[in-house]
Structure formats: C-alpha cells, structure tokens
Amino acid sequence: MVIARRLFMEAARRLAGDPRVQRKAAELAEKAYSHAQPTLSNASTHVSESMRETLAEVDPLEEPGRFLKNLKSRMLPPEDDE
C-alpha cells in the first residue's frame, strides 16, 4: 500500500511539473470560469438584491430570527411538500 501511494504521489508531482500539463490545466480553468461567470454574476446580483430588500423590511440587530427567515425565503425557492 505504501509503495502504491509513493508511486502515485511521484507520478502526480511529475505531471504537475510538466509545462504541457500546466498549460492544459490553465486552458481548462479559463474555460470553466468563462462558462460559470454569467451564473456567478447573476447569483451575486440576486444575493445583493435579496439582502437589500430584507434589510429594508427587518433590522437584523433587533430581530435576527425574522431577518434570517425573510432572507432565506427570498433567496431560496419554495420547497414542494409531496
């Protein structure tokens, strides 16, 4: 078991040090970010708007439970009880 682990770790180190592998990893990371960026931006906007609207209704220092309940209901879709 120890030998297999050492072989695996050495192979991983060699791959990580290979410039071709590093270039391919950078390309994949760039593609993943480009694909996820619109969704992340939309989620960020949604969170900001939900927080702003909830803060306008409830003071989190005065009523933290109600604040969290309202924020949760704005941010998460309603659950279907079946």
Domain contains 81: no
Domain count, the chain: 1
Quick one: which H or E segment has residue 2?
helix 2-17
**Residue 35's domain spans which residues?**
2-75
Determine the angle formed by the axes of helices 19-57 and 64-75, rounding to 10 degrees. 120
What pLDDT, on a 0 to 100 scale, did the predictor assign at position 80? 62
Domain contains 7: yes
Domain contains 82: no
Tens of pLDDT along 16-47?
A: 999 999 999 999 999 999 999 999 999 999 99
What pLDDT, on a 0 to 100 scale, did the predictor assign at position 76? 84
d(CA 74, CA 63): 17
Domain contains 80: no
What pLDDT, on a 0 to 100 scale, did the predictor assign at position 82? 53
pTM of structure: 0.58
Q: Count CB-CB contacts under 10 A for residue 71.
A: 19
Domain contains 35: yes
